[in-house]
Amino acid sequence: MLVDLRSDTVTRPSPAMRQAMASAEVGDDVFGDDPTVNRLQERCAELLGKEAAIFVPSGSMANQTSIRAQTQPGDEVIAHADSHIYHYEAGAPAGLSGCSLRLLAGERGLFTADQVRTAVRPPDSHYPRSALVVVENTHNRGGGTCWSLEAIEAIRGVADEFGLKMHLDGARLMNACIAKGHDSRQYTRFFDTVSMCFSKGLGAPVGSIVASTRQTIQRVHRFRKMFGGGMRQAGILAAAALYALEHNVQRLAEDHANARHLAEAIARMPGVSVDLAAVETNIVYFDVQPGVGTGKSLCDALRPRGVWMIPVAPQRIRAVTHLDVTREGVELAIAALRQTLER
C-alpha cells in the first residue's frame, strides 16, 4: 500500500467523479458557451459572495491573473515572506505583472494590520506604489494556518484607508472554513478578488476559480488568455470541480483529524519534533534532529516502505493528508516512520 503524503495535489479522481466528467455537457469555453463551466462559475460566484467568477487551469494562474488585473507595472504587492506567490510561482509577480513584493514577517504565515500600515509606501515618486495586499488562507508554509476574521477585518480597514486592493489566495479556503466553522463568505467579504483551488483537498484533477466583481473578472478573463489559460471543452474539468464542491468539502474534517493523529504520533517519537499547536488543518511540518540525519535522508529511507513525504528544508519534512489517505494509511505511515527512526 502506497501512502503518498507529499501533497494534497496528488489526489486522484474517484470513480464517481470520473463518471461526472465523462457525462459532462461541453461547449467551447473560450467562446463562453461551455454550459458546465458556466454552471461552475455561477456556483462559485454564489459560494464566494461575488458578482462573477472565472475557471482557470491552476492556482498559480488564479493568483497571477488576480494580481495583474489589479495592478500596474511598477506597483508593489504586500504579502507574507512565506507566501505561495513569492516562493512557488516562478517570480510571476515581476515577470507577468511588473510588480515588486513588499514581504512581511510573522509567525506561521500571519501578519498584522499594523505591519501593513508600516509597509505602505509614502506618496512619493521615488517609491513604488503600494497597490495590493495578499492574504493566504490556509497558509501553506505556515503549516496550514487559518486566519481569524478579526485579523483580516483589521487589515481590510488599513487597505481601505490607503486605497489598496486585497486578494485572498484561498487555494485551501475550504480547509479554513471547515476548521474554523465559518461560511466561505465570512472570509471572502473582505477581499476584492478570491482564488480557490479544486485540485488539492477537494480532489479534482485540475483547476481553480477566481471570483470578484464583473468588471474585474472581465480583466482576469483577458489576462487568462494572455497567459495562455484559455481552454476549450473544459466542461470535463469543470464537472470534476462541481462534483468536488458537492461531495468533498465536509469530508475535509477527516483529513484534519488524520493530520492531528499523525502529528500526535510523531510527537511521541525520538529523533523528531513537531509543534502540535501549529497543526490546524491537513498539513504537518516536523523537524529531524541532526543525529538522525537530514529531512531528505529520512524521506529516502521511508520511500521503500511505501511512505512518501517531502523534505522542505535540511532538517524539515512536510506531510499532507488528503482524501486518498485513509486512517489505515496514516497508521502505516506512523509504523514505518517509527521503525525507520528506531533503525
Give domain limits for the chain.
Answer: 11-247, 251-342
pTM: 0.96
Q: Which of 242, 214, 205, 209 is nearest to 224 (CA)?
A: 209
d(CA 159, CA 16): 43
CB 198 within 8 A of CB 244: yes
Q: Which of 139, 185, 194, 124 is nearest to 165 (CA)?
A: 194
pLDDT above 90 (res 112): yes
Overall average pLDDT of the 146-173 stretch: 98
Decide the pairing of beta strands 272-274 and 75-80. unpaired
pLDDT of residue 1: 87
Q: What is the CATH number of domain 11-247?
A: 3.40.640.10
The whole-chain average pLDDT of the chain stands at: 97
Overall average pLDDT of the 75-79 stretch: 98
pLDDT of residue 108: 97
What confidence tens digit (pLDDT) does each residue in 181-238 have? 999 999 999 999 999 999 999 999 999 999 999 999 999 999 999 999 999 999 999 9
pLDDT above 90 (res 343): no
Name the CATH superfamily housing domain 251-342: Aspartate Aminotransferase, domain 1 (3.90.1150.10)
- Give the CA-trace dihedral at 134, 137, 140, 144, to 10 degrees: 160
CB 201 within 8 A of CB 194: no
Q: Where do we find the cell 483589521?
A: 154
What confidence tens digit (pLDDT) does each residue in 122-140 have? 999 999 999 999 999 999 9
What confidence tens digit (pLDDT) does each residue in 21-64 have? 999 999 999 999 999 999 999 999 999 999 999 999 999 999 99
d(CA 143, CA 152): 18
d(CA 76, CA 72): 9
pLDDT above 90 (res 252): yes
CB neighbour class for 105 (10 Å; exposed up to 12, middle 13-18, buried from 19): exposed
